[in-house]
Amino acid sequence: MQHFLIYGSFFIAILSLLMGLYACGRVAKLGITTKDLDWDAVANMTGDLATLKKTIQTLNNRINGMHSPKVAEQELMMQLLANKQQQSNGRLEGG
């Protein structure tokens, strides 16, 4: 049991060391890629991202039918109105 605890803790320590080295490598890579990035480039990317977001929202709204004409509903209302007028032109039967 003691051997298991010793080897288990050793394995976890080595795994933690490797994960820390991997994280340091990723941070260093991010630093290298963003070294030449200035605030003008960040502002341009922000504007491009906002434009892209608006375009995607418009496309999704079109796909969902929010901007399409509601012809089917208008036709249904006209049919109901025509049926109502035809019924009122007939003779009334009361009880």
pTM above 0.75, yes or no: no
Pair 60, 83 in one domain: yes
Which band of pLDDT confidence, cut at 50, 70 and 90, is reported for residue 13?
Answer: very high
With cut-offs at 50, 70 and 90, classify the pLDDT of residue 91.
low
DSSP string computed for 19-58: HHHHHHHHHHHHHHHTTT--HHHHHHHHHHHHHHHHHHHH
Let me know whether 51 and 27 are in one domain. Answer: no
Query: For the segment 50-67, what is each residue's pLDDT rounded down to a tens digit?
Result: 999 999 998 888 888 765
Quote the CA–CA distance of 31 and 29 in Å, as a whole number: 5
32 inside domain: yes
Q: How many domains are there within the chain? A: 2
